[in-house]
Amino acid sequence: ELSSMGIEAPEEKKALFTVRDLDGEDAWTVPKGKLAGPETKWVAPFPGAVLPAVFSSPTEGHVRIHRVVTHPGKAEEDTLLVLPAFESRESMMVLLATLTESPAAALAIPMSVLETRGMKEFAAYPGRVGGARQACGAQARARHLPFSLPMPVVFFDERILPSGGDGPTDAILRVRFTETRVHGMNLVVTIRPTAGEAGAKAIGVGAHYDGCGEGFPSADDNASGVAAVLETVRALHARRDLLVRPVRVFFFDAEEWGLRGSAVLAKEEAEGLRAFVNLDTIGAADQSEVYVIGTSHYPHLAGRTSFCLLAEGLAVGKDIDRYAFPHGSDHWSFHREGLPAIDLWSGQYRRMNTTDDTLDKLDFEKIAAISRATTRV
């Protein structure tokens, strides 16, 4: 497609990242499915009754638990410190941060907290849940803490605790991980002005080209965004004489794996950019409004973009940054590097990443109009 426009072949930039999975069945139960010795008969009622947090430290071999202590109790080297059921991920982070020097052998969090909004991703493993991309995307958001915990941290089913709660026991806990290297490839195209300042900071525009794999049409998420960016490239390349600065065009891999492709590219590219506009899921025929995600963070860039959308006869939706800006799409990677970045979205959440995301549900004129608006930005 690009060669037919007379544009040089895109640069290929590798996006390599690792995915953490559980190493063996006993990583989340224990040997032979038991979490305790014969004295207490502390037996896991079903596989998965004990599940390491994605940020957990592994054990060297295994750790022995001789006492269960409910926080805030006196934790010693052989204790399992049972934490409360958190109401939010923020409250969990606050408490974990106070335990970085705890002598406890391991920390345990009730499994019930995983039903709290935003908490399931702390236990997202490809080997345990149905889609590797969804699990890895969640893991990318939750794996790294801003502090270090030296002991393993597990979610556990409360039913496996010895009756009476706190007290002596003789349990074995083993946490092991395996790392898988995933190879992705980002594509980058540069449109250079025939006049203007070639060395000026560029404007970035992009879309992710990966989907959820075989069986998923991915028409709106994100063939619609890729199509709009290609048309933007065509228009800008044809009128390079009007450009005052270069345009860097990005086609991201591994967005569905947790923005892994753009996370790698943003670190390399952000310093040379003035701003970035992302297009992700913009073609739903039953969605009349176009949302400019990033309005509350970058009002100048968002305002200019909204003006261009309105000039094309498109309706601009309300500010939904509270729900959609963090981690929502590849704009987040550039935002994290300190670059003004927004995302255009006009889709239907209920169809994204499903087999129902098909071409017949797209509004091609809307996609074309969004492309024209992006060109004007």
pLDDT band at 164 (very low <50, low <70, confident <90, very high): low
Which residues lie below 8 Å from residue 293, measured CB to CB, with a gap of 6+? 320, 321, 324, 325, 328, 329, 331, 342, 343, 344, 345
| 14-45 tens-digit pLDDT | 999 888 888 865 444 443 444 444 444 444 55
- Rama region for 169: left / alpha / beta (φ>0; ψ in -120 to 50; rest): beta
How large is the average pLDDT for residues 92-114? 94
| DSSP H/E element including 345 | strand 341-345
Note the pLDDT of residue 332: 96
What does the alpha-carbon distance between residue 155 and residue 53 come to, in Å, rounded to a whole number?
7
β-pair partners for 99: none
| 3-state SS track over 20-82 | EEECCHHHCCCHHHECCCCCCCCECCCCCCEEECCCCCCCCCCEEEEEEEECCCCCCCCEEEE
pLDDT: is 102 or 171 the higher one? 102
Closest alpha carbon to 225 in 281, 287, 164: 281
What does the alpha-carbon distance between residue 83 and residue 81 come to, in Å, rounded to a whole number?
6
Task: Kindly state the tokens that stand for 102.
Answer: 């705890």
Q: Is the pLDDT of residue 154 over 80?
A: yes
Determine if the pTM surpasses 0.85: no
- Rama region for 298: left / alpha / beta (φ>0; ψ in -120 to 50; rest): beta
β-pair partners for 208: 252
| 298-342 tens-digit pLDDT | 999 999 999 999 999 999 999 999 999 988 999 999 999 999 999
Q: Is the pLDDT of residue 132 over 50?
A: yes
CA 36 to chain centre: 36
How large is the average pLDDT for residues 226-245? 94
Q: Is the pLDDT of residue 58 over 50?
A: yes
How large is the average pLDDT for residues 241-246? 91
How large is the average pLDDT for residues 105-117? 91
Q: Is the pLDDT of residue 113 over 80?
A: yes
Q: Is the pLDDT of residue 161 over 90?
A: no
SS3 196: coil
Mean pLDDT over each residue of the chain, to the nearest integer: 88
Which residues lie below 8 Å from residue 90, measured CB to CB, with a gap of 6+? none
**In degrees to the nearest 10, what's the CA dihedral of 345, 350, 355, 358?**
-50
What does the alpha-carbon distance between residue 159 and residue 109 come to, in Å, rounded to a whole number?
13
pLDDT: is 375 or 38 the higher one? 375
Note the pLDDT of residue 357: 97
pLDDT: is 233 or 179 the higher one? 233
Q: Is the pLDDT of residue 257 over 50?
A: yes
Q: What percent of the chain has pLDDT over 90?
A: 60
Note the pLDDT of residue 163: 57
Note the pLDDT of residue 40: 42
| 171-199 tens-digit pLDDT | 778 888 888 888 999 999 999 998 866 67
Note the pLDDT of residue 41: 45
β-pair partners for 113: none
Give the burial string for 287-316 (b: 16+ CB within 10 Å, else e). Answer: beebbbbbbebbeebbebbbebbeebebeb
Note the pLDDT of residue 95: 96
Angle at 84 between CA 79 and CA 85, to 5 degrees: 135
Helices (H), strands (E): how many in the chain? Answer: 8, 14
Note the pLDDT of residue 141: 85
Strand pairing of 289-293 and 315-316?
Answer: parallel
Q: Cis peptide leading into 72, omega within 30 of 0? A: yes
